[in-house]
Each structure stands twice: as structure tokens, then as C-alpha cells.
């Protein structure tokens, strides 16, 4: 395999792995809960409970921390943040695409933008903290 293909593989494999793990985390925390809660006054909430979203966030934070911490040594720069964002965006699209109003795309775009911003911020913080060889 030539050097160019090896470089592409070194970038693509971690991206796809992190995207797959992120999508699996979405499915594990949020994907199974599809029913809205109807309150006595007729209002609805959900389908997700706060503990589900917090659980997903904590797992994703750990994934980004680990991926950035150990991926920096392997030359991964943007693969972790982009992989998490791609996995969550794809999972949100698949999970919400049965919405007849078409407004699900607004949520999907918000997931894409928010996850990319958050994972980039966490990656920068982790990378700056662990760039010191004494850590």
C-alpha cells in the first residue's frame, strides 16, 4: 500500500470507528425510547427523559476525552470530533426521519452543529492539557 493510501486509512479508520460508537451510544441511550409522555393536562413531553440525554452526554464526553488523549499521539487531529458529530447526526437523522412535518431536519442540523462545536471544544481542552509531556 502506498503512503497516500496508508495516510487516508489512518484518518478514515478512527473516524469511522468513533462514528460507529457514537451512533451505537445514541441507539443505546435514546433510540429505544420512542413514546411521548402525555400529562393529565393534555400536554406531551419526550420522548427522551433527562437522565437518558445526560447519560449519552457523559458517555460521549468520555469517548472524546479518550479519543483525543490517545489519538493525539497517533496524529489524529479532527477525526474524533468529526466522527462523533457524524455518528450523532446520522443517528438523529435515522431516528427522527419519520416525522411527517419535516421539521426533524432542523433538529438534525442542530445536533450536527452542537455536537461539532462541543466535541471540538472538548478536544481542544484535552489536547492543550495533555500536550505537556509531564502529564
Measured CA to CA, the distance from residue 28 to residue 74 in angstroms comes to 29
Question: To which residue does cell 420522548 refer?
Answer: 47
pLDDT for 60-115, tens place per residue?
A: 999 999 999 988 777 777 899 999 999 999 999 999 988 888 889 999 999 999 99
Count of C-beta atoms within a 10 Å radius of residue 91: 21
pTM of the model: 0.85
- All three cell numbers of 60, joined, read 460521549
pLDDT for 20-39, tens place per residue?
A: 999 999 999 998 888 888 88
Q: Over 25-84, what HEC string results?
A: HHHHHHHCCCCCEECCCCCEECCCCHHHHHHHHHHHHHHHHHHHHHHHHHCCCCHHHHHH
Q: Return the higher-pLDDT residue of 4 and 28.
A: 28
Amino acid at each position: 500500500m502506498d503512503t497516500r493510501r496508508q495516510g487516508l486509512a489512518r484518518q478514515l479508520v478512527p473516524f469511522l470507528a468513533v462514528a460507529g460508537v457514537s451512533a451505537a451510544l445514541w441507539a443505546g441511550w435514546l433510540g429505544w425510547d420512542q413514546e411521548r409522555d402525555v400529562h393529565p393536562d393534555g400536554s406531551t413531553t419526550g420522548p427522551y427523559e433527562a437522565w437518558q440525554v445526560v447519560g449519552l452526554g457523559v458517555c460521549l464526553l468520555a469517548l472524546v476525552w479518550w479519543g483525543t488523549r490517545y489519538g493525539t499521539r497517533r496524529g489524529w487531529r479532527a477525526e474524533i470530533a468529526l466522527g462523533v458529530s457524524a455518528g450523532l447526526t446520522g443517528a438523529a437523522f435515522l431516528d427522527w426521519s419519520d416525522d411527517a412535518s419535516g421539521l426533524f431536519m432542523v433538529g438534525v442540523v442542530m445536533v450536527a452543529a452542537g455536537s461539532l462545536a462541543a466535541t471540538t471544544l472538548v478536544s481542544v481542552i484535552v489536547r492543550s492539557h495533555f500536550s505537556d509531556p509531564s502529564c
